[in-house]
Structure formats: structure tokens, C-alpha cells
Structure 1
Amino acid sequence: MSVEKQPSGVIHDIGYQRYTGARLGRSYATRSLYIHSLRTALGLGRGPKAKIFPWLAEGILLLVAAIVTAIRAQGGEAVLSYSEFAGQLSFLLILFCAATAPELVSRDLRSGVLPLYFSRPIRRSDYAFGKLAGMATATWLLLAVPQTLMFIGGVFSVSGVSAVWDETIEYGQGLLASALFALLFGAISILIASLAGRRAVTAALIVVAFLVTTPIYAVIQEVGSGPVKQLAGLINPVTLVLITNAWLTGDDLEGLGGNYGAIYALSTLIAILVCVLLLLLRYRKVAR
């Protein structure tokens, strides 16, 4: 009668040691997440394919800025102001957001790594703010760099200290408009991207969300009148930011927002806050 041998356990000493280094904490982790998101949006530290679209978009914007600067140097007048720059090239901005936002958040959602992020030390709100900040910063830089090129050319196209000062003020107004575009477009894009894990589907949804209101706005502008026509821009993110920036900088709103500039500014702020709030609520429920 054979006796069955019982398996015996063996303990191996693999040299495990407790971590004794510095624990940098939540703020460092959030800052690292922001920097990583910004680098991802710009294609830095990644393969050549990841760099194609952001660098191509920046190249197109720089080309436009160079052409505008060259025309101004020849004729002395600016054919495109700093504040109008983002609005005139908003379609390229939408494509950039549609390509970047899914890369920042949809990939994490699809691959199931969110529980690792939320284990510790960062909170769910830190993840949301880090991704949104990276998206908004990348979008702002996409616009600010060409505007800076225009500013350098503009300074050399004017004469006198007062003219340079006026040019600097207009440049600052353009950067403000870019910041408004970056915050609103970034918040909308990241919110939509956080709802789905498939990047292609998410990118299409972002483009539709921005473009579906454009024909509606055009129809209202064509057939509407009075307050209805002047308030039609509230439904379109591009006109919402353009009219808000015009009101903040004191530009003429006749034919656009009329006397409702303050309403546009308040609506822009509310739209950004609502998107941020919904984004926080989204990440309170995901990966539970």
C-alpha cells in the first residue's frame, strides 16, 4: 500500500525590503499626472505617429501666423487680429481636441487602469483636474505660439513706444481669447471623452458636439431678428467665446451679441463650470 506524498511548501528569500525613500505625496502625483497629460497631448516622449497630428496642427497655425505677419509687414495693416485668430481657425482647434481628449482619458478607461490611479495617493478629482489642465494647456499653447510669432512681427511693424504698448495690449487680449477657447473646448472634450472607451467613437462625438450647433446658429442668424438673433451665439461654443472676449476687451458687439455681452460672459463661465462639475461626477462613479 503506497502512501501519497503531501506537497511541501518552500519559502524563498527574494530579498524583499520595505521602501525607505521619500513619499512625495498627493500634490506631486497630481503634478506628474498633469505634466504627463500635457506631454501626451503634444506627442512628446512618444513615437513618431503620436507626433503627426499635434505637430501638423501647430505647423498649419504657424504658417497662417507667418502669412499674416508677412502681409502686415508689406501693407502695414493686420488682416487678422490676435483675438480673431482662434475663432477663424476654430475647426482645426476642434480636430485637435477630438484627437487629443480620447488619447488622454479614453485609453485609461478602456484599458482598466483607473483603479490603479485611484488606489493612492491621488483622488478622483485630482485625476479629473490633472487631465483637464493638461488638455487646456496644450490647446492654449497650440494657439499662443503662433500668436507670439504674430506679436514679434507686429512689434517690428510699428514705431513708437505707444504703438508697441498698444500692440502688447492686443496681444494680451488674444492670449485671453485663446485661454477662453482652451478652457471651454478642453472641458467639453474631456467630458465627452470620459464617457466612452473607444477613441474613434469618442473623437466623432466630440466633432459632432461642436459642429452640430453651427448650422442651427447660421439659420437663426438668417431668419431671426432682435434679441433672438443677438442671443443665437449662446448655442455655439465658437461664437460664445468670440462674443465673450469681444465684450471683455470692449470691442464693438453690433451685429453679434448686441447689448448681451455680459450674458455671453456669464454663459461661458457657467458652461465651463458645468462641464467641470459633470466631469467630477463622472469620475466619482467610474471604476467603483
Structure 2
Amino acid sequence: MGTHPIEELLPRKTDQILQLALDAYSSSIDEVVNFGTHIILWDYKKKRDGKDNHIPTLFLRNIIEIGDSISILIKSSSIDPSKILIRSLLENFFQLLYMLEKDEKERAQCFMIYKAVNDLKYYKKFISSDPSSKGLFSKLEKDQSDFDITNLLDRDDFIKAIESKSSILKKPEFKDVYEEYLRTKKIGNGRNPNWYSLYDGPKNIEQLSTHLRRVYYYEFFYRSFSQNVHISDLFKGLALVGIDKAQMIQIRDFEDCHTVFIATNKILLALFIEYVQKRIPERNQEFRFWFNSFYPEYDKLVQKGQIKYKK
């Protein structure tokens, strides 16, 4: 319809000097993401038996996609939204490192069981004969009485999904892991445990980061960016301009772009080092060649420090 934004609140045109810096940060992340696609291909092509052997590859693919999304946001100076993605990036990072740490096959199966159980819980809500559907009906009636859920009930694709997920839980190769899942759930008073909590593993992301000796990433990136996820940093949108006076800060504020850039690449590079070493060590020389050629330029951007620019 051609509506123009309030320029002071949402500037669509970025200052040229600032854009050059944002482009440099974005391009640096792009280079890491691009190389990550080669790691995915190397790993995928390696001959391995069993679906569980591709779980780490799928984790890596998800991490690469998140990194790519952060690059796009940085280029557009959408820095605060990218912090939310870094939290997601770190959750994937910690979980994948834990899976690669040891007993990879067993831990991949733990994830598969966890995923199957949670998917079943969701799909069964849309089966009219299942008790959980009554609870969903009741909630929707109180929330939106005009919403007709009958179109979603007993769908063929949901029924097939339930059959597929149920078959995983019945497979002999998953028997021990599923029993461990049920044991861990019982200890937790019936609450569904995280997959990495099985076999007396860490109970949450903080404990997971401590177990992996990656507390730095948790404290300086995950915890510090949590305010953007939980809305506790809502007042960041205001800046004091005098006693009892404040003004609204522009959307697409570039503050913290340097920190977000460093955090993204730091997480991706740390993961690549572990991943290549654990999953495809025969590609380590190729990885090191790329890393040694990439790192000097990356380090120059890091050492330049925060952008000095007056808004």
C-alpha cells in the first residue's frame, strides 16, 4: 500500500559507513557458513549404518541454517532479533557437542526416543479417541469458542505419524534407551526429561554447559542474551535524555553488532573443530587449511572493536 515508516523510529536506509561494517561482519559469517556446508556434505557421504548415525549431521545442518539467518539479520542491522537466534544456536551447539563427546550412537538414540515421545504426545491430541484430545478441546473452548477443531481431528497424516513414532519405541534396538527414558521420567515426577538427561546426564542447558566446560559461552552469550528472549530487556528501547525524560531508540539499532558477530563465528568455529575431529578426522587437513586462511581476516575484524558511529 506504500506506507512509509517513521524514519526516526525505523530508518530503512543505513548510513554508508555503518553498512560497510555490517556487510563485513555478515560476509565473515557467510564464509564460515559456506564452509560448514562442505562439512555437512563430507559427513553425509561417509558410509555409516543406521538412521541414528545421521542425527549429528541433522544437528549440524540446523546450526548452519541458524548461522546463515543471523548473517542475514546482521546485514540488515537487526541485531536484537539475532540475539534470540544465538540462544537457539547455543542450545544446538551444547547438545551436539554432548552427543559427540562419547557414546555417540547411544546418545543419538536418546534423542530419537525423546523426539518420538514428544511427537506422539502432540499428534495424539488430534485423535478423537485419545483422552488428551479432550483437554485440548476444553482449552480451545475457553480461549476461542468459535474455533472449529473438528477439521484437524483424525487426519490420515496424523495417524500415519503416530504409527511411525510408535514403531520406533517398539524396535528392539531402542528397548534399553526407551526403558531409560521411562526411568528418568519417573525420577522426575512424571515430567518429560531432556534427551541429554538420560543415564543421569545434565538436567538443563546450564548444567550441560558446565559438563562440557563451555561455561564461557553460557554466561557471556546464552545468559546475557536471555533478556531478549524473555522480554526482560524491554526498556532497552528507551534512552534517558534528561531527568525523568526518555526517547524511543530506533528499531534496527546496530548496538552490539560486533558482539553478535563474534559470538556467532566463535560458536560455529568451535563446533567445526570438534565436529571434524570426532566425525570426519580424515578431513582434518582440509579443514585446517581453510581455517588458517580464514582466521587472519576474521581476527582483524575482531580486533577493530565496536563500531564508532554516532546515531
Interval containing the TM-score (normalised by the shorter chain): under 0.3
Higher relative contact order (CA 8 A, sep 6+): 2
Larger radius of gyration: 1
TM score, norm. by length of structure 1: 0.27
